[in-house]
Structure 1
Amino acid sequence: MSEKNIILKSSISGILLAFLLLFFLPESRTAGYENVPRLNPNCPPGFKRNADNECIAQSLYMQYDSPNNKGVGGLQTGLPEIRDGFSPQEIDLGRYLFFDPVLSGSGTISCATCHDPKKGFSDGLPTSIGHNGQQLKRAAPSLWNVAFLKKLFWDGRASTLEEQLKGPLFSEEEMNNTPESLLKTLNEIQEYRAFFAEAFPKRRAEDRIELNEVYRAIAAFQSSLLSLNSKYDRYAHGYHEALNEKEIEGMNVFRSFIARCAECHTPPLFTNQQFAVIGTPEPDGLPLDPGAEIPFNDKTLRGAFKVPSLRNIAKTAPYMHSGNFSTLRETVEFYTKGRGHAVPEDEDIILHWHIWDPQLSDYELDRLVDFLNTLTDETFMPRIPERLPSGLKPSI
């Protein structure tokens, strides 16, 4: 047989093999997906994949033994326990779901609508906008480092990410969907069927998507949002040239007994994960938001809200649960205007003990703002999908 015939026969065999693979592989893996990438098999930055295909968080703070539960937190203090161990496929599936407005009843609102990565995973509004343009009651909190948090929502009514995300998904004021409608929609999208089969390999490819899989995938993605490599962190790990003189002055004010910022915003997470009644004003003369009093049925928590992390705080204006302060300078100034100065006269709330009258100077307030700006780190910003399985445009 001539060399030309051998090459021709080999080419025909290769084409035949490709034809057989195309038509005899399981349908969920091939039909209609020739140009669709598989889920990312690699862990996001900040995680290392182990032998069980789990993404385990990596951080220099893990070398420190001291727990983040005593004092005001030294520079080299360990972080709280993190929620990790998701597979890279679960995380990547959650990334698609997070940006997909198909999760809402109207097909116009995604998780990213209120948690925009370009705005510190908040939305830049005093209070968020929901279904049909409804004005919601509170500001959207940032999702950076949410994997460390033990209580979620401003009033702490959820204890897990899965529990938290059910709120906006099925709220008539927010994403206005129902469990039945959500499952029907996702199961009608063949590409999502294939993605779920890949992310959850113990199930059969033909199995229908289930709610617990949706919740887990979105929780996996949210848990991957780590921000621990700011200028402050480089300083804390020993590179003292990372901060300039004014930023160091601001850090010293932040940690001082006079300002007492670090007693609630405890490094390195910059929250003690507790609730505090600080008496911030409500917008436009609205009545006092009862906050944590409602879910915990505790009158001592009237007007109490979860102490937020200050990580990437410069990206998440406006501030407080009501979005009442448009700048960091206004926010830090609130604490030096005197104890309870913004509490309505008809309210008898129990202010947190550290809300007093520190009488910080304008210079000290400016240095505080300088320091807060050093907590910005978006090194591990996730990539927004260029296309979604639903065919809709990412909603942000």
Structure 2
Amino acid sequence: MITLLTVLIAANKVSHTHYVPKLNCNCPPGFKLNDKNECIAQNLYMAYSTNNDPGVGGLKTALPKVRDGFSPQQIDLGRYLFFDPVLSADGTISCASCHDPQKGFSDGLTASVGINGHQLKRSSPSLWNVAYLKLFFWDGRASTLEEQMQGPLFSKEEMGNTPENLLKTINGIENYRHLFSEAFPNKSSSDPISLNEIYTAITAFEASLISLNSKYDRYAHGYHEALNAQEIEGMNIFRSFVARCAECHTPPLFTNQQIAVLGTPEPNGATLDPGAQIPFKDSTLRGGFKVPSLRNIEKTAPYMHSGNFATLRETVQFYTDGRGHAVPKEENLRIHWHIWEPELTDFELDRLVDFLKTLTDESFMPKVPKVLPSNQAAFTNNQNQESIQ
């Protein structure tokens, strides 16, 4: 009996130690697998011309160039890494801690919270459709997803890790060594995992977060019954020369990917956030921030870099209250020329909010792993969970 128990315990230990989840060999929704094992983006916007001047975004305007071509295995490995708190110095914070899939891949806070409860200075931007973006962070200081992720990973205030400790941690997890050899076929499980491979896998997952099947999209592709009369009225206000929303939030991505100085107020009388002035070393960009995409904006309250507006209604109200009305007296900001005094009525502002809600689409929501290769519990919200078994 003792011998049998010893064998069973040993077998369980081996099974637990060497248990490796199988990576998905199929592309996520919105992508098609080619003969090179690459996931290539597929959507109706690809049928439209990329050579025309988009202006303020006509209904059949093409999207900008997409970041695709990752393998299904790299995307799935990135999904595990994204939700795994072992990426932080003390194992308490994952990427999903600030980019919660149930909150539009933001976190619902006015300012995010980092390691050891450290209060950060800005809100978390959404990750939906980041495959189409060319600037990252609110101040636009990164130009690739790989560059962007190194900010929070190695910030003492955010995830608190170091490149050396991250490599030691991931290479010390046998399951991850097997998974990386599966996602990167030119290496074996005995080869050390590199930082670039970690960055590639997380980038692959983030680039798979596609949201292009909202009510607005169905309308834009020709099904005009997708929007009701109030939503269409809101769309017309949005694209009008009076409101000028589409000048910066250009469809179909709903951002022109530029830096804009709006003069939004800081919360509770806080000092002005210099924004893009710092990384670009340009005083004309003082108080400037990246124009965010409005896709799934309904899910990502509170709004602005400071999280100062709790609702969409408050946010659109800001734009009609007068150019520079919230700028501190001691500041002389170069406000973007589209910010003026449109004098929109309450009815028009309500219709704008109606339209913004038509940009919600979470039909390609990825599944949150219930168990991770590190044997830690994943970030979860009790929805969209799955077992890796």
Question: If the length of structure 1 is used for normalisation, what is the TM-score?
Answer: 0.91
Of structures 1 and 2, the larger Rg is shown by 1
Match of 2:78 among 76, 88, 94: 94
1:362 aligns with 2:310: no
Partner of residue 308, structure 1: 292
Equivalent runs, 1:201-216 vs 2, <5 Å: 201-216=185-200
Aligned with 1:238 (options 193, 213, 222): 222
- Secondary structure at the aligned position of 1:335 is classed as helix
What is the one-letter code of the residue matched to 1:190? Answer: E
Whole-angstrom CA distance in 1 between matches of 2:54 and 2:367: 36
Question: 3-state DSSP class of the match of 1:276?
Answer: strand
How many residues matched? 367
Match of 1:374, SS?
Answer: helix
Equivalent residue of 2:359, what SS?
coil
Q: Which moved more, 1:252-261 or 1:197-206?
A: 197-206
1:386 equivalenced with 2:349 (yes/no): no
* Candidates 275, 278, 291, aligned match of 2:259: 275
Structure 1 ranges of 4+ moved more than 2 A: 30-37, 66-70
In the superposition, the TM-score normalised over structure 2's length comes to 0.93
The CA deviation at 1:284 is 1.2
SS where residue 32 of structure 2 aligns? strand
SS across alignment from 2:40: strand
Identity %: 72
Shift of residue 229, structure 1, vs aligned partner: 0.2
Matched-pair contact (CA < 8 Å) for 2:18–2:174: no
1:183 to partner: Cα distance: 0.6
CA contact (8 A) 2:18 2:175 kept: no
1:41-120 aligned within 5 A: 41-67=25-51, 70-120=54-104
> Which residue does the alignment assign to 1:196?
180
Structure 1 pair 35–176 and aligned structure 2 pair: CA distance change class (3 A): closer
Structure 1, gaps ≥5 residues long: 1-29
- Does the aligned pair in 1 maintain the 2:66–2:132 contact within 8 Å? yes
- Partner of residue 154, structure 2: 170
Q: Match for 2:330: what amino acid?
A: D
What amino acid is aligned across from residue 225 of structure 1 in structure 2?
L
Unaligned runs of 5+ in 2: 1-13, 381-389
Change (3 A) 1:129 1:207: same
Q: State the match for 1:225 in structure 2.
A: 209
Q: Contact 1:67/1:79 (CA < 8 Å) preserved in 2? A: no
Evaluate the alpha carbon distance shift between residue 361 and residue 392 of structure 1 in structure 2; reply closer, same or farther with a 3 A threshold.
same
Task: Pick one of 241, 251, 276 that aligns with 2:235.
Answer: 251
3-state SS in 2 of match to 1:56: strand
Q: Deviations over 1:102-136 (max 9, x none)?
A: 00001010000000000000000001000111110
Q: Distance in 1 between matches of 2:52 and 2:352?
A: 22
Q: In the alignment, is the contact (CA less than 8 A) between 1:54 and 1:87 conserved in 2?
A: yes
Q: Which residue of 1 aligns with 2:113?
A: 129
Question: What is the CA-CA distance between 1:47 and the residue it aligns to?
Answer: 0.2
Deviations 1:244-278 (A, max 9, x none): 00000000000001000000000000000011000
Q: Displacement, 1:156?
A: 0.5
Q: Specify the SS of the correspondent of 2:73.
A: helix
**Cα distance, 1:69 vs structure 2:** 5.6
* Residue identity matched to 1:245: A
- Report deviation, 1:34: 7.0
3-state secondary structure, aligned to 1:105: coil
Q: Displacement, 1:204?
A: 2.5
Q: Which amino acid aligns with 2:87?
A: L
1:160 to 114, 121, 144: 144
The alignment yields a C-alpha RMSD, in angstroms, of: 1.2
Is the aligned partner of 1:351 residue 2:335? yes
CA distance, structure 2, for counterparts of residue 90 and residue 68 of structure 1: 34
2:280 pairs with 1:286: no
